[in-house]
Structure 1
Amino acid sequence: MNRFLLSFCFFLSYCSVNAQSSEKSKSKFVASELFSSSSFLPSGNSYRLATGEPGPDYWQNRADYKIDVSLDDKAEIISGIETITYYNNSPKELTFLWLQMDQNVYQKHSKGLDAKLFLSSNAAESKFEGGFNIESILLNNRDKATFAIHDTRMRIELSEPLPSGQKISFQIKYTYKFPRNFRNADFNVNRTDILPTKNGDIYSVAQWYPRLCVLDDVSGWNTLPYLGNGEFYLEYGNFDVNITLPSAYIVEASGDLLNPEEVLTSTQLERWKKAKTSSEKVFIRTIEEITDPTSRPAKPLCTWKFKLNQARDFAWTASKSFVWEGLEIVLPSGKKVLGSSLYPVESKRSDSWDRSSEYIKFTLQYFSKQWYEYPYNKAVNVASNLDGMEYPGLVFCAAKDKGNMYWAVVNHELGHTWFPMIVGSNERKHAWMDEGFNAFMDNMATKDFNGGEFPGYPEIDVPVKALFADSLVAIMTRPDVIPGNQVYTIQYQKVAYLLTLLREEILGKERFDPAFRKYISDWAYKHPTPWDFFSSINSSTGEDLNWFWKSMFLENYKLDQKITQVVNPQKGKSQKAKITVENMGKAAMPLKVEVTFENGQKESHNFPVEIWEQGLSYSFSPDSDGSVTKVVIDPQNIFPDVKADNNSWTINGQNTKTKSGKL
């Protein structure tokens, strides 16, 4: 979703971490809390196995959409007729259905507005009142349905039960008015918006049709209201979408364009076909043509027809102001994808949208090779005022961005193809399972892009110690409960940091990467829970990582490893020193220690996390005899130790809190 420039998150977090220095030095570690014989993970069943894999009886429902929609650009109103075919694959019959109605967040006294989770001062004063207007609902396209709308949810009563294994079709006729610039200073929740440009408005159209809520084996109907931060949880299905609007508009969408010859001029059609087979970008519509009426078909209206299969959502865009470019992207398997970029003249800068095609190509190829192949035939990047928002096959990125931030947002939004478009986690409850996973992958891609040209997210990251501040809630906190100034820190940065730590230090790339790929493959186009993820990684790597999941994800435990004693041998004796380290915080991590001897030689020791299973204290002797002059815990600052002042000992007494003695 959109990125968060948190103006005061760093201040709050860093102050909390500094305050920890005044805490008493009594250990809080309890080994039995982290290394318990009884797991917090649920027992496996026929739906979800204890190995973190879908079981033999795993099921999920399906929703196919056929939508005819029109845009009235004078009144700024969407009018649509959608026919939904819903497949009941659950083990029981259904007597009602629940649908998401996200546009209703703009109705007066919606839960989102009254909760003030995303209001800025100008939004609070706005007289705009929107939301869906449902004109009619017909079951089986003939019987008038009874329905009730509750905030951002709608319940439809079925005239007769829908048995397991059966399907039902129903038609919804609706309209809604576009919200304009209904946004917050820190982040926005508008998924449909209008960006004014000198050559015309850019319509970004998402959350634009009533969508089925997910019915699953974990929570039943997932009907949490749309409040802002908790995003989406959707069923998979096929989409056939027809979009009608004045012919002056260029339209792009999630799906494949079925009728290019009807909506493009002969020149544009030729360029469009060329772009699909060209390794260099081709301008389907140039800057010079934007103000030329002959660059569009000479008829009042155009209907753009799109098709998208096996997807959980559909979005589109329209504008008279678009520069449009495309190129062919060949994935590692040989599959060919069209990279499509649309932006206004104002955004065509060398450090910005001029590089859109380059960024799309790298991202799709990199993630397809590293994790799982890009599934769609097209990847569309649209300049908008949504700042950054993802949908299957199409992303909205900020028209104003440039430099590092433009790279970061394009890479991130396209990265959402893998989470949650392919792996369909419940964002409304567990946003970290798409934002954090995506940020983790982004960091890897950023290091490899063009020799490390950009820093990526570190430009807005807080220090690692601030990720464990007392003021922060746990990662597993429901998104809408996370304070706004903590959202980026917790859902994005902390999760990315922890997965990197797991990959590069605790497990190693050779174990983590295959496990992560298996998780993606197992749950592609399915609905995993956090427990499925934890169990999957445990099972694939052969490690019981519950100590890690509990301390780092379920809780906000802190790591504080401390040197408490160094006992040197008496001079002249060929004996080894004895070093004692204590675990002062509630978290545990492997222990890395560097030992320096009197003769200047050094030893490095790496101990597994299991050393803490016997309690809070661990003692060891170096491999070599002789007096020790310096001991340092984690000299490369790999682990998130919140107190650095007790991580080193020197023989001259610089660490006055550490005991010294002689054997």
Structure 2
Amino acid sequence: VVRAIPAAVGYSPEFDRALQRGWRSEAGAPGHSYWQNWTDYEIEARLDPETAKLEGTVQILYAHDAPANLNSVLIHLHQNLHREGSPRSSEQEITGGVTITRLAADGEELSERPMEEGPGWEVDGTLMQVRPTIRLEPGDTLQLDIDWEMALPQRGAGRMGHSNKEVYLIAYWFPKVGVFDDLHGWAAQPYLGNAEFYDDFGNYKVSISVPSGWTVMATGELQNPEEVFSAITLDQLDAAAVSDTLVVIADAASRGAGTVTAEGTDGWLNYRFSAENVRDFVWTASNVQRWDATSAEVANQIWPDVDTDSDDRESEDRESDDSEAQALPIIQPVVDGTRRVLIHSFWREDLAPLWAEQWRYGQQAVEFHSEYTAYSYPWSHMTSVEGQDIIEGGMEFPMMTVMGSYEGQEASDLYNVTAHEIGHMWIPMIVGTDEKRHAWMDEGATTFLENQSKMEYWPGVDHHRVGARSYLQVSEARQEQALMRHGDYYEPGPGYGVASYLKPAALMVALRDVMGEEDWLKAYRAFIAEWSFKKPSPWDFFNTFERFAEDDLDWFWTSFYYETWVMDHAVGRVVSKPTGGATVTIEDRGDAIFPARVRIRTSNGMDFVHEIPVYHWLAGNDRYEIEVAPAAGAVVRVELDPGGYAPDVDRQNNFWPRGSGE
């Protein structure tokens, strides 16, 4: 053996336990006994835009379905990132964070005090531990009533805030129960400003009070449009809901004339929203932004309730000693025609002229992503908010995204970020991955989907190959950091961005090339369908693709996800024979294992492709010889990876004669 051989992928002890208990499956789908906790929120909030002060009250019903007893519950207070003394990964505006003014558990008032003093609550950075009087047992529901207030930052870690106190994007703003899952128990971790979020799914009823003249859009469905919008606005929204073209809901003239909203009561409007089965709730408010709208058309899918046959699945699994032998049926929806999704775009004409076409980008992204994933956008609207001063790039939330103005940049830049952020509606908003521990699962999949949509909207360029270049440059320079690393633990430099976005997107394309598009697409779509509104791990992702590949792909996961090995295939020598034909030597000069595809052209006009299986390299070999028959004539050109999707760091040595690359 003359080369390193990638080790088999080992499960974490927590995942192995989940397999044994039927919470997960070797096939990659949720196990017959999969469980997750659930939370219902009822929130009342009031925003004073002039002071950027927000006060609110929330009633939380936490349904505890986990097979464990809990003496305490962990609550996220994300805005404590802006509290003096809180740990954080970078400098942040100090606002004072969250002030808890009242907290009750199951109707009993609790006070702030340390654990040794018994029931109560205490705050450590962005996490609050609540200790009820009675412990929570499986099947119990805990009611928490919390009042709080805070000052909103202008720029909350580049993910929320306000612009000139005339545009607000309110996110990570209420006390939120952390995740208790089947792999980690309490998975809630401090928010330090870099690694993102991991959330349970839940239902929300939210009441938001803002001054008259301010529009609000939020996650979920507006329950009282007639009370907050004018008749003109309601008519325009009705028109947009069935339109393929632009409908202007509000502009500078209508804002100035005060004809966008209702008058309100005592100078205030109260917007009431309801959202079901979402992992977060966010909202935006403004009294100046232009409001464009249109609608997207997607397949009207009715998905089966996969939980209804869990007893049958459990029985089948227990009858088999080999769960991998069970052929899982592919979940398919019933399609009943099409339906419309409202597309909203809020922006300022003087600051963000490129946004004049953003409504069109949002429409295309919702339609394309729905079709490519085979999972239609499930909600009634998708809202994009221009947030100059809040963010330069983009940030995603259920049914909403905030993005920079992109002033001075190209239209394609705004399209790209729109396609990316809307792509996040599938992962992690539908497929609830853990963004903190495994950022590549949502960012990589979304970067792939963004590039795929760009192929349709901006044709003529292979955006996957363009997107892979930066990753391959960093890989060649040996500056990579591994994908299987917590988002807060990357060293300064390109490591986090490459490992979270560029590399996993390129690997999706490379794996598609290995598996074949048909099998890969089945795996990709099955992963989304099977894990919709659930919380998968990397091993579920790996196992799903191996199920459809019908092969062991540990060489791929180990080489590229666990390790930062470099792949470099090269055309070594081409030795012509006196009687015709030649011996073509292909060399593997890197560490990472990958199959090779070799295209050979000869003087007799033959053009054929030779496949070098991955098992040749796994046997320890670092070279492979291809014998070209004399009847083929002289070899005139050799090209490795003619499709261009292998993650090869040096494409210059993929051609013979050297310099013959196209």
In structure 2, how many angstroms separate the alpha carbons of the residues matched to 1:298 and 1:63? Answer: 35
State the distance in 2 between where 1:454 and 1:286 align: 38
The answer to whether the 8 A contact 2:195-2:436 is kept is yes
Distance in 2, matches of 1:376 and 1:645, equals: 47
Match of 2:401 in 1: 395
Task: After TM superposition, give the deviation of residue 84 of structure 1 in Å.
Answer: 0.6
Residues 68 and 243, structure 1, Cα contact 8 Å, conserved in 2: yes
Q: Which residue of 2 aligns with 1:175?
A: 149
Structure 2 residue corresponding to 1:341, chosen from 345, 367, 370: 345
Compared with structure 1, are the counterparts of its residues 457 and 323 closer, same or farther at alpha carbon in structure 2 (3 Å cutoff)?
farther
Q: CA deviation at 1:230?
A: 0.9
Q: Distance in 2 between matches of 1:92 and 1:389?
A: 35
Q: Cα gap change, 1:137/1:40 in structure 2, threshold over 3 Å: closer, same or farther?
A: closer
Partner of 2:433: 425
Equivalence for 1:379: 382
Rate the CA distance shift 1:624–1:375 in 2: closer, same or farther, 3 A.
Answer: farther
Q: How does 1:129-168 map to 2 (within 5 A)?
A: 129-144=95-110, 146-168=120-142
CA 1:362–1:90: 2 relative to 1, 3 Å: same
Amino acid at match of 2:109: D
CA shift, 1:152, in A, is 0.9
Residues 438 and 484, structure 2, Cα contact 8 Å, conserved in 1 = yes
Which residue among 606, 612, 618 is the counterpart of 1:613?
618
AA aligned to 1:326 is A
Matching residue of 2:159: 191
Shift of residue 602, structure 1, vs aligned partner: 4.5
Indicate yes or no: 2:329 matched with 1:355: no
Instruction: State the TM-score, normalizing by the size of structure 1.
Output: 0.85
Other-structure match for 1:30: 4
8 Å contact from structure 1 (residues 312, 421) kept in 2: yes
Name the counterpart of 1:15.
none
Could you tell me whether the CA contact under 8 Å between 2:593 and 2:618 is conserved in 1? Answer: no
- CA displacement 1:592-624 (0-9 Å, x = unmatched): 223354657554322221221322232331245
Determine helix, strand or coil for the equivalent of 2:590.
Answer: coil
Could you say which residue in structure 2 is the equivalent of 1:580? 585
After superposition, the Cα gap between the structure-2 partners of 1:212 and 1:649, relative to the gap in structure 1 and judged at 3 Å, is same
Partner-residue secondary structure (3-state), 1:491: helix
SS of equivalent to 1:345: coil
1:239-267, CA deviations, whole angstroms, 9 ceiling, x for partnerless residues? 10000111121111111111111111222
Deviation for aligned residue 1:217: 1.2
Relative distance call for 1:163 and 1:605 in structure 2 (3 A) is: same
Match of 2:369 in 1: 367
Report the AA paired with residue 531 of structure 1.
W
Please say which of residues 601-610 and 630-639 is displaced more in the overlay.
630-639
Decide whether aligned partners of structure 1 residues 546 and 335 sit closer, same or farther in structure 2, where only a CA change above 3 A counts. Answer: same
Distance 1:258 1:636, change over 3 A: closer
Between the aligned partners of 1:365 and 1:335, the Cα distance in structure 2 is 11
Q: Structure 2 length as normaliser, TM-score? A: 0.85
Deviates more, 1:464-473 or 1:160-169: 464-473
Decide whether the 8 Å contact of 1:250 with 1:322 is kept in 2: no
State the percentage of identical aligned residues.
29
Q: Is the 8 A contact 2:582 2:628 kept in 1?
A: yes
Distance change in 2, residues 1:356/1:154 (3 Å): same
* Paired letter, 2:506: Y
How far did 1:140 drift? 2.0
Q: Distance in 2 between matches of 1:71 and 1:456?
A: 43
- 8 Å contact from structure 1 (residues 391, 417) kept in 2: yes
What corresponds to 2:541 in structure 1? 533
Instruction: Report the Cα distance in structure 1 between the residues aligned to 2:573 and 2:263, rounded to whole angstroms.
Output: 85
The equivalent residue for 1:268 is 233
In 2, are the aligned partners of 1:87 and 1:165 still within 8 Å (CA)?
yes
Residue identity opposite 1:621 in structure 2? E
Asked if the contact 2:506–2:647 (Cα under 8 Å) also holds between the matched residues in 1, the reply is: no
Deviation readout 1:55-86 (Å, 9 max, x if unpaired): 11111101111100001223211101011110
In the TM superposition, what is the alpha-carbon distance from 1:431 to its structure 2 partner?
0.9
**C-alpha distance 627-245 of structure 1, shift in aligned 2 (>3 A):** closer
Q: 1:434 aligns with which of 428, 433, 442?
A: 442
Paired AA for residue 427 in structure 2: F
Question: Do the aligned residues in 1 keep the contact of 2:340 with 2:380 (CA within 8 Å)?
Answer: yes
In the superposition, relative to structure 1, how do residues 453 and 638 fare at CA in structure 2: closer, same or farther (>3 Å)? closer
For the Cα contact (< 8 Å) 1:329–1:338, is it kept in 2? yes
1:254 and 1:495 map into 2 onto residues whose CA distance is 29
Tell me what 1:51 maps to: 27
Q: How far is the alpha carbon of 1:485 from its aligned partner?
A: 3.3
Give 1:90-489 correspondences, 5 Å limit.
90-112=66-88, 117-119=89-91, 128-144=94-110, 146-181=120-155, 189-196=157-164, 201-299=166-264, 300-333=267-300, 334-347=338-351, 349=353, 352-371=354-373, 372-384=375-387, 385-387=390-392, 388-401=394-407, 403-449=411-457, 451=459, 458=466, 462=470, 464-486=472-494, 487-489=496-498
Quote the residue 1:640 is aligned against. 647
Contact 1:102 1:207 in 2 (8 A): yes
Deviations 1:257-297 (A, max 9, x none): 11111111222222223322333332221221122235443
The answer as to whether partners of 1:206 and 1:314 remain within 8 angstroms in 2 is yes
Amino acid at match of 1:262: E
Indicate if the aligned counterparts of 1:130 and 1:178 stay in contact, CA closer than 8 A: no
Q: Which amino acid aligns with 1:399?
A: S
- Deviation, structure 1 residue 424: 0.2
1:190 & 1:101 partners in 2: Cα distance? 17
Task: Report SS of the residue matched to 2:505.
Answer: helix
User: Relative to 1, partners in 2 of residues 1:245 and 1:632: Cα closer, same or farther, differing over 3 Å?
Assistant: closer
Q: CA deviation at 1:567?
A: 4.5
Partner of 2:504: 495
Q: 1:629–1:317: structure 2 CA closer, same or farther, 3 Å change rule?
A: closer
Aligned partners of 2:2, 2:589: CA distance in 1, in Å?
6
For the 8 Å contact 2:452–2:463, the answer to whether it is kept is no
Take 2:589 and 2:464, find their aligned partners in 1: how far apart are those partners? 34
2:525 aligned counterpart, secondary structure:
helix
Once the 2 structures are TM-superposed, how far is the Cα of residue 646 of structure 1 from its aligned partner?
Answer: 4.8
Q: Helix, strand or coil for the counterpart of 2:72?
A: strand
**Helix, strand or coil at the partner of 1:194:** strand
Residue 307 of structure 2 corresponds to none
Shift of 1:364: 1.1
Distance 1:287-1:517 versus aligned 2 partners, 3 A rule: same
Helix, strand or coil for the counterpart of 1:242? strand
Q: In the aligned structure 1, how far is the partner of 2:490 from the partner of 2:523? A: 29
Provide closer, same or farther for how the CA distance between residues 598 and 582 of structure 1 changes in structure 2, counting only shifts above 3 A: same
Deviation at 1:166, TM superposition (A): 1.8
Q: 1:369 to 1:601 in 2, by over 3 A?
A: closer
**Equivalent pair of 1:443/1:457 in contact (CA under 8 Å):** no
Superposed CA offset, 1:186-241 (max 9, x none): xxx24331112xxx610110000111111111111112211122100001010100
Q: Are the equivalent residues in 2 in contact too, given 1:258–1:306 (CA < 8 A)?
A: yes
Number of the residue aligned with 1:65: 41
CA–CA separation in structure 2 for the residues paired with 1:457 and 1:408: 15
Cα distance per residue 1:521-562 (max 9 Å; x no partner): 111111101011001110122121111111011111111224
Letter in 1 for 2:503: K
